[in-house]
Amino acid sequence: MFLAGVGIPIMAALNATLGARIGPPAAAAILFAVGFICAMIMVVVTGGTDWSKLSTTPLFLFGGGLLVAFYILSITTLAPRMGVATAVLFVLLGQLVTAALIDQFGLFGAPKIPLTPTRIFGFGLMVVSILMAKR
């Protein structure tokens, strides 16, 4: 997960530059095509897909794809204007708040992890750190 985190600002910088060169919608379309090809290669290589379950999968589970599209379009549009660091800081803040709510209520099948005063304090410190890094 640390490496995934390392990749987010790199991805944001690459996406922002591509979006500034060819326009955010075109950049997003190309990025999704590249991602689709990579994912399909993994499907073929691993062979670990049960396509028969696709038709019975609840539609809301595909919402992640909409959120990925929203993120890619947002970062390719806004990072060139506000800077990669600021854009990623806002992404991180949104992730912290949302992750805490998902844990608190056990949303989307996640285990319930209560929002204790200690966790709230820890999240608060992270928010303060993010705001301080912005300055």
| Sequence ranges of the domains in the chain | 2-134
Half-sphere exposure of residue 65, counting CA atoms within 13 Å on the CB side? 8
| 71-86 tens-digit pLDDT | 999 999 999 988 888 8
Task: Please state the pTM of the whole predicted model.
Answer: 0.75
Q: Name the stretches of the chain with pLDDT < 70.
A: none
Query: Computed over its alpha carbons, how large is the radius of gyration of the chain?
Result: 18
Closest CA to 86 of 75, 72, 96, 70: 75
Q: Copy the structure tokens of residue 23.
A: 């326009």
